[in-house]
Amino acid sequence: MTHPHTRTYWLEHAWLDTHVEPGVAVEVLDGRITAVRTDVPTPPPGAEILRGLTLPGLANAHSHAFHRALRGTVQVGSGTFWTWREVMYSFADRLTPETYHALARAVYAEMALAGVTSVGEFHYVHHAPGGTPYADPNAMGEALIAAAADAGIRITLLDTVYLSSGMSDKRGGEPPNTHQLRFSDGSAEAWAERCSVLKERDHARIGAAIHSVRAVPADQLATVARWAEERRAPLHVHLSEQTAENDACQEIHGCTPTQLLALHGVLGPRTTGVHNTHLTAEDISLIGGSGTGTCMCPTTERDLADGIGPAVALQNEGSPLSLGSDSHAVIDLLEEARAMELNERLHTRTRGHWTAAALLRAASADGHVALGWDEAGTIEEGALADLTTIALDSVRTAGPLPRLGAETAVFAATAADVRHTIVGGRHVVRDGAHALVPDVPQALAAAVEALRG
């Protein structure tokens, strides 16, 4: 994913964490930024010119790649999260390593077109239907890692523990249903044994995930937390997305899901709670006080009618915020950033909970940290050379002063305004076209059609 020689990019405008700077030269060697020079009014000789506003590469901290096949299908009629889940299962049942690779390759290419340079793939479709392991027990995870390489982006494979269909006072919880059998390794110990075989690569890191407290019995949580701690790997968990999960946890364990995770050592600075929607004041204090992150997925949360999570309170308590497109109702990290602020405005009837700069940090630097790519997400010496350039002359972005580029990007631009995506110093998207996956819409259509059968 890197070039073995020095190259220079000239950024017409660059967002440098706190402000927009005109005329910035970025030198890159072996995929990393070696120098950032400001006050460079014209392109140096031989420099590649990036016109518009260049941001650090965006991080999509929560993805279920196969959910992209549901787009449109699950928007028919009404229903709840639980009826949506039944449709999701029908697509999961049809996945094979080959069909998953084809779909994920196209989905990750769509992400690159939207300026995403790193994705956190919350991966739980491990085995064949019925739960029979493939000849390579990690065939499905390897398909995702290969798909990310083919699409030119980085991936953190958050290999997910999913053992039960619901909480129970019986040891081990309720057994997985027919659809969930292919998600389960039988125990956290068996999950750890399989997951430990996965190898990191230049573009891929391995993390862990607890699907939810309803899918991982309480006596299995510490095993997962210990595996991640020993490897200093990121650990993610769906947390309090649905009130039904909270009610069941109170009934079975006499505490909230957050309190249960805290009791078993899951919370901490390398852990990210995804959604964190229905929390008590004590939950918020536990999450923030432990440094546990929060990944908000506003487009999915509103698509599924989940609710609006207490993101402001969580951040005020010390929980770093990141963003994800989750079910891929849309893939647009700028929309996720915008929605987090606008949701809060609707909820509180006041404006200005985050600056545009804070929202961009959630979409870039803090998202990369949540995925274990601490050296990405900034435009500074030593950082990975991952860049996203947004047009400032489209019908959405034309007009505002360039110094207001951050505000324009967050509150007006969309994924359609991404002109360039650079990963490790390599152009993956150039002038709005993917350099590695030709005809991404056709690739998406073909992959989805194969799953529909």
Q: Which residues are identified as catalytic? A: 275, 326
Hey, is 121 helix, strand or coil?
strand
C-alpha distances in Å from residue 429, one per residue of 38, 387, 393, 423:
24, 10, 18, 9
**H or E stretch covering 362:** helix 356-363
User: Distance (Å, rounded) from C-alpha 346 to C-alpha 165?
Assistant: 35
C-alpha distances in Å from residue 439, one per residue of 198, 360, 415, 431, 433:
31, 29, 17, 14, 9
Write out the E strands in 317-437: 321-323, 387-390, 418-423, 426-430, 433-434
User: Distance (Å, rounded) from C-alpha 12 to C-alpha 216?
Assistant: 49
Beta bridge partners of 166: 174
CB 54 within 8 A of CB 144: no
CB 123 within 8 A of CB 140: yes
Give the residue among 127, 126, 123, 117 at the shortest CA–CA distance from 148: 117
